[in-house]
Chain A
């Protein structure tokens, strides 16, 4: 199998998979030791940039459909741990590193408004650990390693969410709720892994896949699958296992919300995808039945119900959180169509929605810097006094709705195509209906921004704050026009996963 490893001109490229993961992990303790606010921001940012660079290199290396394999410590799997990069996770790695870099720019100017200065170092350390966890989950091909990284990211996330308590004490209960839920999810996940190990005696994904196909019908494996789906369902906030999400997003600091909304749930969904396609056999009837009978209806319920709930929310962070639930519904729907097109649409939507939601949450964060709260009323007339932030918000909103020319349109179009290809007319109509709900709740905000009398006199936020917001907003447009980054790679990824 060694021939599959890409023999690049640089030896360096072979080590990229592990560098991707350990770069932030190594920087995190350094921050704590240095204990300097500015320096820790700088180091984190440099680390995130390095991650971004690595992920771009990786994406380039695998965008032709090949696979990069890395054996940790030279131990050959199934004994050793393997890191395995193909188009699917390279895309996710890119999304995570990109968002983390942009979010860190934003945190430079906004974090002091939410967290006391002496906590910044620890905050950044935690942030980097969370980043490590998310990257690790995506990069590894060892299922126990997935669990370990998942826990790293989750534990640091609980801490990060709790940081919101300096502004609103409810962040603590939100974080606690999330902790309980997340832990149960992780436990279920590890039980599932246990079952798999019991039945196959292996932890390497490829290896398990081979043995699973040899075993045939096996109750142990099926039970393992059930636990993994529920565990990941929790982590990805599948309705009705979503209750932790709205509060966690609402009360966490904006920086954290941005980062989590854009990446965390997507990573959990990625794990589910990876297990369905690379560990289990997606053609098995029990997998198909589960998706058809349970996940697809749940996805549709999420799509409609969460959008409707979002319409009535006055707290804008909560509104966007519910809209996130609906968007997760889209992704889950794409996956549960169990077709190549559906899977590709799901992957594309992960990336597009990641940028879109980050743009929205970040511009909300910028509003918040001025208004100090996030109720819809407080945005009155800000379209005039904060034109650039508002314009970025509008772009993000358009992308969320799925207006042509924005990223959201691409993924919704692909999803529509996939649904219709599979013959689900009703679902196609429901997708559009849910988009109409999105029009309503986005319009509600735009109306307040632009068509209300000014409530207070605010000034536009600083350029440093605007830069990351506009990077994201421009990404929303760029990804809507140039689809080679998302659609082409996603198609290759879907191809890889299906074969």
Chain B
């Protein structure tokens, strides 16, 4: 019975159970245990037949397990486990519960074999995850969460539209490879794109992740966007448009990340940049590139979680994640610093770290298909990754000038979570074969060739050299408490402004029009009936007498339609 239960149910049931457990060690251990059990069930279960459910006249499949969904299922379970270990200190009900529901929803969406199931879980990820932002309980977080929720739910609504259209066009709801040729698939594509933070649809990410709680951001960073990558890899592999979208995604966040002050926002931009690599991989669509996307998503979830954890631990101890307020923390937080450096090395793709073995799959995927410009952009973006995630985050937090802060080392459970994640990052980097073994297609790629190591070191070392020289010349962008406008300005400032103006305009015209209408109506009614009813505007106009008039009019219309 247990083994045949769809995987998300473990999380959903676990989440519900967790509500009733006493706050503290018991609850925290329980929420760590649930992903482990689910992972075991996933690996040991027999999922050949899927999990078919009949709903109305539709056949739903809750568990479509193949190699692609398996990769994402495994890493989502691991990420849920690590995130919950990191959040072990929480003594509240909402966040542990939401973390499980959210992870379960994401896993459910990954294993959804049809578009309806996908939609349901798609919306559930949106609705559940927003509580991780609201758990911060500040006004800023409330508004930020609201924006996040609206955009995420919008993605779901667009998806539903697309799915409905798709169903009526093809009569099928199974979630398989689609062609980007009709309105239906275009809508589905856009829905995926919103969650995947395509350019101009991306701001929810940088807006919300820094607004969540310390532990919430770690959980958030793993699921939503990678779910979208999975959905793209499932639905639109080989769609050329994705290559250009992905390339754009790798480039523009670099500049924003470089001048952003809030380190969690830096990491959010960096996340966007990393998604770009995966999207390019999906767009190229060859076996090599799709393997690259899956592998990169796998290692990316780990090192990005590690980075968010280390910055989170700093935020936990110092109360700030602003680069301008931090620096020199290596003195008292050496372990966190080390883990951060491991994460930084992984994301920058240093040899022996996980990014090195996964990103290169995508790069050679693009190279093999002769996308020269794209390839150059990706190499550029690799240097960019180094600039913000590889250097900026650890350097300004733990080294650089002394901020005077002497916080304690991170608490034990955080160190444990970071340590485990760091070990996984290095393990993947050193033994890539084990990662390649679970990829959707057979991997014939060998990352550790002399020339690959050489070229990568050349790229990275000379970029670091540039950093060193520029910092000596005092040319680096200074850390000041400031923000930078992004596309979200349009809907946070510009649109509200326009709407307010329009409403004012509308209100004034409406006032005039209403006055005119009221006056004439009163004149008319006053003459025909002698009515009174001091009961507010609505009822004053619509007394029984007026209603009778309405009825007569409607009757006339009905008779007119029927008889003539």
Contact = CB atoms under 8 A, between A and B. Distances in A.
- A contacts B directly in the complex (CB < 8 Å)? yes
Interface of A: 170, 173, 176-177, 180-181, 184, 188, 219, 222-223, 225-227, 229-230, 233-234, 240-241, 243-244, 247, 286, 289-290, 293-294, 403-405, 410, 413-414, 416-417, 420-421, 428, 432, 436, 439, 451, 483, 487
B542 interface: yes
Given A180-B544, A243-B542, A451-B142, A222 B535 contact: no
A490 to B, nearest CB: 11
Nearest to A451: B142
Contact of B157 (A244, A421, A436, A451): A436
Given A219-B563, A240-B554, 5 more contacts: A173-B535, A181-B547, A294-B561, A413-B56, A432-B160
B535 A290 contact: no
A410 B56 CA distance: 8
A230 B562 contact: no
B559 A404 contact: no
Contacts of A229: 558
B547 A420 contact: no
B502 interface: no
Contacts of A176: 544
Contacts of A404: 116, 119-120, 123
B555 interface: yes
A403 B127 CA distance: 11
Interface string B167-197: 0100000000000000000000000000000
B52 interface: no
17 contacts: A170-B535, A176-B544, A184-B551, A227-B555, A240-B554, A241-B547, A241-B550, A241-B551, A243-B542, A290-B558, A404-B123, A405-B120, A410-B56, A416-B164, A451-B134, A451-B142, A483-B56
Contact of B563 (A223, A227, A294): A223
A391 B160 CA distance: 26
Contacts of B123: 403-404
Contacts of A177: 543-544, 547
B539 interface: yes
B466 interface: no
Nearest to B161: A432
A483 B558 CA distance: 36
Interface string B44-78: 00000000000110000000000000000000000
A230 B168 contact: no
B557 interface: yes
A36 B153 CA distance: 53
Contacts of B168: 417, 420-421
Given A170-B535, A243-B542, A451-B142, A483 B551 contact: no
A40 B44 CA distance: 61
B548 interface: yes
A420 B56 contact: no
A177 B153 CA distance: 41
A176 B164 CA distance: 46
- Best-surrounded residue of B157, B539, B543 (most CB of chain A within 10 A): B539
A226 B164 contact: no
A222 B555 contact: no
B554 A241 contact: yes
B562 A290 contact: yes
The 5 residue pairs across chains A and B that have the minimum distance between CB atoms: A180-B544, A226-B558, A286-B562, A404-B120, A226-B559
Nearest to A293: B561
A244 B547 contact: yes
Nearest to A229: B558
Interface of B: 55-56, 116, 119-120, 123, 134, 142, 153, 157, 160-161, 164, 168, 533, 535, 539, 542-544, 547-548, 550-551, 554-555, 557-559, 561-563
Contact of B551 (A223, A225, A230): A230
A247 B554 contact: no
Nearest to A178: B544
A338 to B, nearest CB: 15
Contacts, number: 85
Contacts of B160: 432
Nearest to A291: B561
A63 B429 CA distance: 64
A99 B555 CA distance: 33
B251 to A, nearest CB: 35
A439 B153 CA distance: 11
Contacts of A420: 164, 168
A222 B56 contact: no
B554 A233 contact: yes
Contacts of A184: 548, 551
A259 B554 CA distance: 28
Given A290-B561, A420-B168, A226 B544 contact: no
Contacts of A487: 56
A247 B539 contact: yes
Contacts of A416: 164
B531 to A, nearest CB: 12
A483 B555 contact: no
Contacts of B157: 432, 436
Nearest to A179: B544
Given A184-B548, A432-B157, A294 B164 contact: no
Q: A290, A410, A436 — which one has the most chain B CB atoms within 10 A of its CB?
A: A290
Nearest to A225: B562
Contacts of A483: 55-56
Contacts of B533: 173
A240 B142 contact: no
A226 B547 contact: no
A170 B539 CA distance: 12
B547 A243 contact: yes
Contacts of B559: 223, 226
B131 to A, nearest CB: 10
Contact of A226 (B134, B539, B562): B562
B120 A226 contact: no
Nearest to A170: B535
A103 B539 CA distance: 30
A181 B558 contact: no
Contacts of A226: 555, 558-559, 562-563
Contacts of B153: 439
B170 to A, nearest CB: 13
A247 B550 CA distance: 18
A187 to B, nearest CB: 10
A275 to B, nearest CB: 13
Contacts of A286: 561-563
A483 to B, nearest CB: 6
A408 B562 CA distance: 34
A483 B57 CA distance: 10
A451 B153 CA distance: 19
Q: Interface centre among B56, B161, B550, B554, by most A CB within 10 Å? A: B554
Nearest to A482: B55
B497 to A, nearest CB: 21
Nearest to B137: A451
A222 B558 CA distance: 10
B557 A294 contact: yes
A405 B160 CA distance: 14
Contacts of B535: 170, 173
A432 B325 CA distance: 48
Contacts of B164: 416, 420, 428
